[in-house]
Amino acid sequence: MQEKIIILDFGSQTTQLIGRRVRELNTYCEIVPYNKFPHDDPSVIGVILSGSPFSVYDDKAFKVDLSKIRGRLPILGICYGAQFMAYTNGGTVEPAGTREYGRAHLAKIDESNPLFKDIKAGSQVWMSHGDTITSIPQNFHPIASTDSVAIAAYQADDEKLWGVQFHPEVYHTEDGTQLLKNFVVDICGSRQDWDAASFIDTTVAALREQLGDDKVVLGLSGGVDSSVAAVLLNRAIGKNLTCIFVDHGMLRKNEFKNVLRDYEGLGLNVIGVDASEEFFNELKGVTEPERKRKIIGKGFIDVFDREAHKVKDVKWLAQGTIYPDCIESLSITGTVIKSHHNVGGLPEKMNLKLCEPLRLLFKDEVRAVGRELGMPEHLIKRHPFPGPGLAVRILGDITPEKVAVLQEADDIFIQGLRDWGLYDQVWQAGVILLPVQSVGVMGDERTYERAVALRAVTSTDAMTADWARLPYDFLAKVSNDIINKVKGVNRVTYDISSKPPATIEWE
Ligand code: XMP
C-alpha cells in the first residue's frame, strides 16, 4: 500500500509548497480541503495542517474537528495550523507586532525534541502571520522560541502533536527541510520509497489493469506533460495508444516537424494533422483576444474529435493533467474551486472515459518521470507554450504572413537563448508581434515597419513571474539579428513587466 501524508489545506498560499517539500522527501502526500480528511483511508501515516489567510478568531475562519485524528496519527500544525490547535485547546492567540513578520532566528530550542533533531539555535526561520500564540494550553509545552516570539513551536505533552508558528516549507527557513524530514520520516515513519521509478512501476501496472485491451487516444501538444503522459501510456499499453498532434498553424518555426520526429523516435504511435488552413480561415479578420482563443479551442476540439473517432472502438481519452490542475483549492469564502484545464470541454464533447496518469504529480515530478522513462532532455526542459500558440502573441488579426514573421523572430530569440546558455534559466520566453509600425532607417532608405517585443520571465509556477534580467549584450545581439534577418521588423523592445500586475502572455 502506498503510504501517504495528508495535508489539510486551510487556504494558505504555501500549501502546495508543503506538498512539494514532502514529496522531495520521497514521501507521497495529498492535499485536501481542511474539512475533507479521508478518515477511512488506512494508508495515512501523518497529518500536516497548513497556514491560512484567516486569524483563528475570525468568524469566517476554517475550523476542523481533529478528535478522530488526535492520538491515532502524528499531527504537525504550521502557522495558522499551530495557532488553531493552540487556540481551540485553551491557548491564546493575539495580533502580533510587525516585528514578527519575515525573517527571524530561533533563539532557544529543546534539542531533545524529535522535531528539532539536528537543528541548532540561531537557525533562520520565516514568519508570515499577523498573529502570535501568547499562551498555550496547560497540557502543551513550548519547544522553541525566537527573539520576539516566546512560543515559536510547541508539543502537546505525551502526544504526537506539534505546532510551529514559522513556515518550514519556504526556502527562507534554513532548516525547514530538516524539520519536515524529522516529522515525516522519524515521527511518521515514512519509508521514503516514493520516487519516479516506483511511480512508473505502480502506474504502469494500474494502467494495464484499468485499460485492459481498450483503445486510448491522447492529444499531444509538444509540451512536457502530454509527452510524458504519452510515453508512460505507451509503456503500459503500447499500440493501443494513438496520439494525435494537431498543427493549428500557430506553432513555432519547424515545431510540427521537429516534435513529430521526436515523438516517432520515442516509439509513439502518433498521427500528425496539419489543420492550419482550417484555423486560418476561421480566424480571418478576428481581432478580439477572447474570440481568437474560443475559435482555436473549438477548432482544436473539432479536429481532435474527428481524428480520434477514426480510431476504431476507442474508449478512453488520456490527458496530461497534472496535480496543480486538480487540487481543489479553497477560495477565501471557503468554496472549493478547480483551476483551469488546458483542453476544457474535450472530455464532455467526446463521450469517452477519462484517463489522467499524471494527475498526482507536480511539474518537477513529471520531469523526473520523463527522465526515468528515457526521454530526451530537450523535450523535458522545454518551456511552457500556450495552447493557442502564437495566436496569443499576435495583437490584432491573424494572417499566415504575420505568423511567418513572428516565427522567424521567435526562432532567433529562442535559438539565441540556447546558444548563450540562457534557455534553462528562464521559465518561458517568446516574441510578441505588435500592431504598431514605426519609422526606421536601413541603409539610405527610410522604413515603416513592425515593432516586436521580446518577453522572457522567471517563475516557478506561472502564477507569479518576473521579467528575466537577460544580459544587455545578448539582447543587443538578438535585436540586431531580428532587425537584419526578419523582413518587415525594424524595431525590437524588451518587456520589463512582472506578473502581477501584467501577465506572461500579452493576450
Ligand atoms: P498568463 O499570460 O496568464 O500565462 O500569465 C500563464 C501561463 O499560461 C500560459 N497560457 C495559456 N496556456 N492556453 C494555454 O494552454 C491559453 O489560452 C493560455 N494563455 C496563457 C502562458 O503561456 C503561461 O505559461
Q: What is the pLDDT of residues 63-101, one digit of tens each?
A: 999 999 999 999 999 999 999 999 999 999 999 876 567
Residue 435 CB contacts under 8 Å (≥ 6 apart), including other chains: 395, 396
Residue among 505, 506, 507 whose CB has most ligand 1 atoms within 8 A, to mutate: 505
- Span from the CA of 85 to the centroid of ligand 1 (angstroms): 39
Alpha carbon of 408 to ligand 1 centroid (Å)? 21
In the set 29, 167, 174, 248, the catalytic residue is 167
The atom of ligand 1 lying closest to the CA of 505 is 2
Measured from the Cα of 503, ligand 1's closest atom is: 5
Residue 338: the pLDDT is: 47
Distance from residue 292's CA to the centre of ligand 1 (Å): 14
Residues 248, 252, 253, 255: what is their CA dihedral angle, to the nearest 10 degrees?
Answer: -80
What residues are in contact with ligand 1 under a 6 Å CB criterion?
Answer: 293, 342, 384, 386-388, 392, 428, 462, 499, 503-505
Residue 209: its pLDDT value, please? Answer: 97
Pocket test for ligand 1, best of 341, 383, 458, 504 (most atoms within 8 A of CB): 504
Active site residue 355: no
Residue 388 alpha carbon to ligand 1 centre in Å:
9
The least confident of 190-204, 330-344, 391-405, 435-449 is 330-344
CA–CA distances in Å: residue 155 to residues 29, 117, 164, 178: 23, 14, 9, 17
Specify whether 169 is catalytic: yes
Mean pLDDT within 204-208: 97
Band (pLDDT 50/70/90 cuts) for residue 350 is confident
Considering the entire predicted model, what is its pTM?
Answer: 0.85
111 belongs to the catalytic site: no
Within a 13 Å sphere around the CA of 294, how many CA atoms are in the beta-carbon half?
A: 6
User: How far is ligand 1, taken at its centre, from the CA of residue 507, in Å?
Assistant: 9
Q: Does the structure show a pLDDT above 60 at 144?
A: yes
Question: How much is the average pLDDT of 379-396?
Answer: 95
C-alpha 70/C-alpha 163 separation (Å) is 13
> What is the number of H-type helices and E-type strands within the chain?
14, 22
Phi and psi angles of residue 181, each rounded to the nearest 5 degrees, phi first: -65, -45
Which residue would you say has higher pLDDT here, 148 or 292? 292
Q: Give 148-205 pLDDT, tens digit per residue.
A: 899 999 999 999 999 999 999 998 999 999 999 999 999 999 999 999 999 999 999 9
Active-site entry in 3, 29, 79, 100? 79
For residue 337, pLDDT over 90 is answered with no
